[in-house]
Structure 1
Amino acid sequence: MQRRNFLSLSTLGLTAFTLPKLNFPLLKGPVKKPIVIATWDAGIAANKAAWLILKNNGRALDAVEKGVMVTESSINCCVGLGANPDRDGYVTLDASIMDENYNCGAVACLQRIKHPIAVARRVMEKTPHVLLVGEGAQQFAIAEGFTLEPEKLSPEAKKAYENWLKKSEYKPIINIERTEGGNAYTPTPVPSKLANGEWNHDTIAMLALDSAGNLSGSCTTSGQAFKLHGRVGDSPLIGAGLYVDNAVGAAAATGQGEDIIRISGSHTVVELMRQGWSPEQACKMAVERIAKIKGAKAKDIQVGFIALNKQGVYGAYGLQKGFNYAVCYADDKNILEDAKYILPA
C-alpha cells in the first residue's frame, strides 16, 4: 500500500494562542550535522547506536529507530517489556516514529512485543494508517513477523508491582527513573521510595538530523506505572509526544503525558521554532504554557521537551529541576546535559 502522508498543519500557523511580536529573523548560520539528541541519561547508550548510522551517512529515520531499540532491549522499569505494569499487571507499550516527509506511524497499548518502535515503523510503511492499538496492533506485529514474547514481569517490575498492590495508590514521584544498572536518573535518589515501588517510569524520545540535512524522530514508552489498563499518553500521538517538520525542526516530549496532550506539545514547539524562536526558547514557551494551565498543581508533575532545528541547533527545557538529555555529534561528543527549568528548585 502507498503510505498516506500525515496532514501538515504548518500553513495554519499558531491559531491556539497569541505570540508576541518577534524582532529577529529565523536562525541562520552553518549547519551542524549529523547530530542526535535523546531524553534522559538512557539517551547516552541510545545515541551511540544512532550515531553508528549517522556517521556513515545513514538516514535519520534508521538512526532514531535503532537508537531507541537499545533502550527497549534493556531490562528496566522505564521502557520496554521489563517496565512496570499497569494496575491490572499488564505491561503495555506505546511508540511513534516520524520521518522527513510527514510520514508517521504509531502503536499504543501493545503487549508482548519487544520492539514497539519497529512495529510503529511498519505501521508507517505498510499500512494507510497512523496508529494501531491494543489487540489489533499485536495482530499486525505478529503478521509482520514479530515474536510474541512470554507474558511475565521482570524481577524489578514484579517487586515494584507487589509493593504497589499493598496500597494500590497512584502517587508517582517526578524525575525518578531507572536504568539497566538500577541507578536513578533523579539527582537525589530516594532508595526507600524506589524499594517500595512508589516511583514512576518515563519515556525515551530521540531526534536526529542526518548528513543529507533530513530530520526524523522517535518516541517509545511503557506509559505511567500502575496506570489504568488502556491508558494512552502522549508518546504515540503525533503532534503531542513527537512532531517533525523537515523545513523547520523536530521536537519530542517526556513527562506527564496528559498535560503534553492538552497543548499538542511537540507540534507547539515546532510551530514556535517556525516563528523564529530558538529550540531552547520554543521548549521553554511550551513548558510555560503547561505551567499556566496547571497553576498550583504544576509542582506535582514533570514535563520536558527536546528540540532540534534544521541548522542542527538543539535545546531543551523542563518544568522542574531534574530533566536531562543526551546529545551526540561526534565520536567523542556524546554528552549528558541538564535542562533548564522554570519552577524554583
Structure 2
Amino acid sequence: MSNETWGAIATWRMAHNGVKKASQILQSKGSAGDAVEELIKMVEAYPYYKSVGYGGLPNENGVVEMDAAFMDGDTLAQGAVAGIHNVFHAVSVARALSHEHYNSFRVGEGATQYAQLNGFEMRNMLTERAKKRWEKRRAEIADAKVKPYDGHDTVGAITLTPTGSMAAATSTSGLFMKRPGRVGDSPLSGSGFYVDSEIGGAAATGLGEDIMKGCLSYEIVRLMGTDRTPQQACDEAVYPFIEKLQRRYGQAGEFSLIAMDHAGHWGVATNVEFTFSVATTHQAPVILMAHPGPNQTTTIEPITQEWLDAYEKRIKAPIE
C-alpha cells in the first residue's frame, strides 16, 4: 500500500539521533530495513547509553550479553539473537539472520560464532565506565542497599517508507545484573516487536518477564488490523493487560509500547514516565514524554529543555 507517507518511531530519548538519521534515509527513498537498522546502530554505538550495546551494563558475572531482533514487514521475515557476546552491532546480526529460512534465531555461543564467521565487527562491549558501575552495584548488593535489577531500557523502533514498506527492530543488553543466559522480551516475536506492512508495527520496552506474558506487540498490531488507531490499539492492549497481570500474577513491572500504522499514524502506552522519539512526513523529529492518563488512556506532552539538560548531565555523570 503506497501512501507517500514516511515515518519512524523509537523508544526513549536515547533513540532521537537515530530517528533523525532514519528520517534522512526514508526521505532519500532508502529502505525501511536500512532506516531501522541505522537507527538502532546509533544507539548501540553510543557508550553513555547503559542499557544497549557498547557501554551496556553487564550480567551478574560482569559479562555484557545482548539481545536483538529485526523484522521485515513486507515478507514477515525475522532474525534474532540472544545472549550474544562481543559484537558491536547485534541488530545487524539479527537482520542478517532474517534472510535465513532456517536457523534465524541464534543464541549464546552459536550467535557469537555466526557473527565472527560472517565478518561482523567484534569488540569488547564492557566499557570501563560500565565496569565501574557493575563493581559499585555488586558492592551495594552485598551490603543489601539495593535490589540488583535496576535498568532495562530496550531501544525498539518501527520505520515506514513512502511506498508502504515497514520494518521493526530491537536491541538491548537486558536487565542489569541479570543471571547469565537470561533473555527478556526484546528478541521474542510478538512480545518485543512485530510488524506487518499491511497493518503496522509495535515494539516494547520495560520488564521483559512481564511484557512477554501478554505478547503485547502482536496484540497491538492485531488491534490496528481491526480499524483501531495506533493510540487506541496501544491503550486497549496495554492497560487492561497490566490490570489483569496485577490481579492474577500479583504484580506488573514497567511497560512502555510504541506503535505506527501503515499510514504513519502513531501511538504509545506506558505505566511509567516514558520518553520516545518520532518523525513523520508531517512531524519533524521530536522527543515526547508519555504518562499513564485517566481511564486507561495515555497523556503525551513535549519535554522541556530543563529535562533534556538534566538527562545529559545524568547519563554522563562520573561514577563515584
Note whether the superposition's TM-score is higher than 0.5. yes
Change (3 A) 1:276 1:330: closer
1:187-198 aligned within 5 A: none
Q: 1 CA distance for matches of 2:121 and 2:218?
A: 33
1:318 — aligned with what? Answer: 270
Q: 2 CA distance for matches of 1:74 and 1:260?
A: 26
Change (3 A) 1:309 1:92: same
Deviation, structure 1 residue 127:
5.2
Unaligned runs of 5+ in 2: 300-320
Q: 2 CA distance for matches of 1:223 and 1:339?
A: 22
2:79 — aligned with what? Answer: 105
Q: Which runs of 4+ in 1 moved over 3 A?
A: 296-300, 342-345
* Matched residue SS, 2:129: helix
1:29-44 aligned within 5 A: 31=3, 33-44=5-16
Deviation, structure 1 residue 165:
1.1
1:254 — aligned with what? Answer: 205
* Matched residue SS, 1:58: coil
The letter of the residue matching 1:40 is: W
* Matched residue SS, 2:21: helix
Work out whether residues 4 and 164 of structure 2, in 8 Å CA contact, stay in contact via their aligned partners in 1. Answer: no
TM (norm. structure 1) is 0.78
Work out whether residues 152 and 207 of structure 2, in 8 Å CA contact, stay in contact via their aligned partners in 1. Answer: no
Deviation, structure 1 residue 299:
7.4
Work out whether residues 62 and 134 of structure 2, in 8 Å CA contact, stay in contact via their aligned partners in 1. Answer: yes
1:57 and 2:29 aligned: yes
Cα deviation, 1:89-123, whole Å, max 9, x if unaligned, reads 10000000101210110000000000000000111
Change (3 A) 1:248 1:237: same
Work out whether residues 4 and 163 of structure 2, in 8 Å CA contact, stay in contact via their aligned partners in 1. Answer: no
1:206 — aligned with what? Answer: 157
* Matched residue SS, 2:167: strand
Work out whether residues 316 and 340 of structure 1, in 8 Å CA contact, stay in contact via their aligned partners in 2. Answer: no
Work out whether residues 168 and 193 of structure 2, in 8 Å CA contact, stay in contact via their aligned partners in 1. Answer: yes
The letter of the residue matching 2:259 is: A
Deviation, structure 1 residue 292:
1.8
* Matched residue SS, 2:55: coil
Work out whether residues 89 and 121 of structure 2, in 8 Å CA contact, stay in contact via their aligned partners in 1. Answer: no
Q: 2 CA distance for matches of 1:287 and 1:298?
A: 16
1:122 and 2:96 aligned: yes
1:164 — aligned with what? Answer: 137
Change (3 A) 1:156 1:298: farther
The letter of the residue matching 1:44 is: H
Change (3 A) 1:113 1:309: same
1:1-345 aligned within 5 A: 31=3, 33-76=5-48, 77-99=50-72, 100-126=74-100, 128-150=102-124, 153-166=126-139, 167-168=141-142, 171=147, 199-295=150-246, 301-320=253-272, 322-329=273-280, 333-342=284-293
* Matched residue SS, 2:5: coil
Q: 2 CA distance for matches of 1:130 and 1:237?
A: 12
The letter of the residue matching 2:37 is: E
Q: Which has the higher strand share?
A: 2
Deviation, structure 1 residue 282:
1.1
Work out whether residues 110 and 135 of structure 1, in 8 Å CA contact, stay in contact via their aligned partners in 2. Answer: yes
Q: Equivalent pairs: percent with the same residue?
A: 34
Cα deviation, 1:199-227, whole Å, max 9, x if unaligned, reads 41311111011011111111111101101
Change (3 A) 1:118 1:106: same
* Matched residue SS, 1:47: helix
Q: 2 CA distance for matches of 1:32 and 1:327?
A: 17
The letter of the residue matching 1:164 is: R
Work out whether residues 291 and 298 of structure 1, in 8 Å CA contact, stay in contact via their aligned partners in 2. Answer: no
Larger mean Cα displacement after TM superposition, 245-254 or 299-308: 299-308
Work out whether residues 254 and 304 of structure 1, in 8 Å CA contact, stay in contact via their aligned partners in 2. Answer: yes
Deviation, structure 1 residue 278:
1.2
Deviation, structure 1 residue 155:
2.6
Change (3 A) 1:331 1:141: farther
* Matched residue SS, 1:339: strand
Aligned residues: 289
CA RMSD across the alignment: 2.3
* Matched residue SS, 2:95: helix
Work out whether residues 150 and 175 of structure 2, in 8 Å CA contact, stay in contact via their aligned partners in 1. Answer: no
Q: 2 CA distance for matches of 1:98 and 1:323?
A: 24
Deviation, structure 1 residue 283:
1.1
TM (norm. structure 2) is 0.84
Q: 2 CA distance for matches of 1:126 and 1:52?
A: 29
